[in-house]
Structures are given as C-alpha cells and as structure tokens.
Amino acid sequence: MIQPQNCPEDVQQFCQLLRLDPDRRFVLKPTEPGTSLPAFLPQPCTIRYLVTHYLDISCVPRRSFFELLSYFSTNELEREKLQEFSSAQGQEELYSYCNRPRRTTLEALWDFPHTTCAVPPDYLLDLIPRIRPRAFSIASSLLSIPEELDAWLTLSGV
C-alpha cells in the first residue's frame, strides 16, 4: 500500500480558499473522551501538513459534505444550492454536478466561495475525508531485467 499526497498547488489553493495560513501550527485534540487521534499526524502539526497528507481534497464530495457545508453558509444563494444537494429530492442534480464530471472536493469549494471562506478550521476533519492508502502492484520480472523494478498504479477519478 502507498499513501498518496495532495500536490502542493492544490494545497496552496485550498489554503487560499479557506483563508488559512499553511504554516500555522496547531495541536489536534479529540472533541470527545476516548476518541483516538491519527497516529501519523505530528503534534504540533501545520495546516500544510494536514492538507497534504491527510485531507482528501481530490475525492468526489458526498451528500454529507454539502449538508455540513450548508451550515456555514451566510450567502442565501449558496446555502439554497447546498441544501438542495444534500436533500433527497436533489440527488439527481448532485449526481450531475459531482459524479458525472468527477468534480473534486477542491473544485466544489471553489464553486461556493462565500461559504468556503466561512468554514471554521475546527471542522475540516468532519468536512473532508481522510486520504486512503492505495494498493499497487510490482510488474517487473527479475529474469528479464534484474536491475529494474516497475510499480504499476491505477489512477481512479482522473
């Protein structure tokens, strides 16, 4: 398994959208007793490290993303669209907006700029899922080229 990362340009865009200082340090604390923290996140951590290594800003956002995002919206037009996407009646439109074009979470945040800049950093882990490790295969033959090793990856959602 390999652990993917977000590219630096996307991380920078994300931080600009949310008006976050990428080099700001913070200490992650559980909100509920007994909740464990991700072991690989250093303490203290920077926003840049969190977004680069943990938040999956390239995944297709789910219905729950739009529902939570709607709570932070102070823009009436954006809030109505977010609520529509998170409603049972708006699922066809959500599919057309997100799934058909494979729109990423970062792209969706760009489409709701007034709401995005109002998201408190404390809610980032609730809003955006974790980057999941990906499987890979070794596709080389030691018999044909003993000094070479090729890793093959499948790009999904690209």
Express each pLDDT in 87-128 by its tens digit. Answer: 999 999 999 999 999 999 999 999 999 999 999 998 999 999
Question: Are residues 45 and 25 in contact, defined by beta-carbon separation less than 8 angstroms?
Answer: yes
Q: What is the pLDDT of residue 32?
A: 80
The parent domain of residue 41 ranges over 8-152
pTM above 0.85, yes or no: no
Tokens encoding 13: 């865009």
Q: What is the pLDDT of residue 136?
A: 66
Classify residue 105: in a domain, yes or no. Answer: yes
Tokens encoding 56: 């999956």
Residues near 86 by beta carbon (within 8 Å), at least 6 away in sequence: 63, 64, 66, 67, 70, 94
Classify residue 158: in a domain, yes or no. Answer: no
Classify residue 1: in a domain, yes or no. Answer: no
Classify residue 2: in a domain, yes or no. Answer: no
C-alpha gyration radius of the chain: 19
Residue type, 134: R
pLDDT band at 79 (very low <50, low <70, confident <90, very high): very high
Tally of structural domains, the chain? 1
140: domain CATH number is 1.20.990.10
DSSP 91-147: HHHHIIIIITTT--HHHHHHH-HHHHTT--GGGHHHHSPBPPPB--EE---TTT-TT
Mean pLDDT score of the chain: 89
Classify residue 157: in a domain, yes or no. Answer: no
